[in-house]
Structure 1
Amino acid sequence: MSDLVVTQIRSAIGNKPVHRGTLRALGLGRIGKSNTLPDRPEIQGMIRKVAHLIRVEPVEGA
């Protein structure tokens, strides 16, 4: 199974509380912070919910 690097690129200020909670669940909290997560359906759903706030890249060389 592959991994994804998720990086927050926009602020959560002004977004719905559900979106802020989703960012927290992804391990993000401020602009520029990154987290490596497994590519699972649950994670993909969270990524789709906050796609306007994050950048997703595949992990290379894993």
Structure 2
Amino acid sequence: MADNAKTIKVRLVKGLRGVQARHRLSVKALGLNKTNDVRELKDSPQVRGLIQTVSYLVQVVD
């Protein structure tokens, strides 16, 4: 990632079993596959929207 770009670290804290297909796609779009996966993503309105959609499955890490 670029040094001057703000980033957000996101961790998948719950499994995807029994979750709506649309929410599974949102988690996949964030680049998370397995429980406890962590991704560092560029802070943008699109990423914030995805995180808000699946807020019960993910956690923003410091």
TM-score class, shorter-chain normalisation, is 0.7 to 0.9
In structure 2, stretches of 5+ residues that fail to align are none
SS in structure 1 at match of 2:51: helix
Alignment of 1:13-52 (within 5 A): 13-52=17-56
Per-residue deviation, residues 16-57 of structure 1 (Å, max 9, x unmatched): 000000000000011010100011000000000000001112
1:55 equivalenced with 2:59 (yes/no): yes
Cα distance in 1 for residues equivalent to 2:33 and 2:61:
18
Identity of aligned residues (%): 28
* Alignment RMSD (CA, Å): 0.9
Compute the TM-score of the two structures, normalised by the length of structure 2.
Answer: 0.88
